[in-house]
Amino acid sequence: MTFEQFIFDARSVVTVLCFLTFAGIVWWTYIAHRRTDFDAAANLPFADEPAIDTAGEKHV
């Protein structure tokens, strides 16, 4: 096996590994049980924070 053939084979292996990693990330993102986690995270900017007075006590 020549060095050029080794590099060609290594490129092929890296390409397949990168594609499998990408496919795994896409699969992990779109599976059903993650939807509730992502929905909760998406609504975090709209969540109201409890008011805090000058004494540091929270008011509900």
pLDDT tens-digit profile, the chain (60 residues): 799 999 999 999 999 999 999 999 989 888 867 888 888 889 998 988 766 666 656 655
Residue 32 is predicted with a pLDDT of 66
Distance (Å, whole) CA 20 – CA 26:
10
Residue 26 lies in a domain: yes
Residue 10 is predicted with a pLDDT of 96
Strand locations in the chain (E): 51-52, 58-59
Residue 58 lies in a domain: no
Distance (Å, whole) CA 9 – CA 44:
46
The alpha carbon of 19 is separated from its chain's Cα centroid by a whole number of angstroms, namely 16
Residue 44 lies in a domain: yes
Q: What is the pTM of this model?
A: 0.55
Domain tally, the chain: 1
Residue 35 lies in a domain: yes
| Domain of 10, in residue numbers | 3-48
Residue 39 is predicted with a pLDDT of 86
Residue 27 lies in a domain: yes
Cα dihedral across residues 34, 36, 39, 44: positive or negative: negative
Residue 55 is predicted with a pLDDT of 64
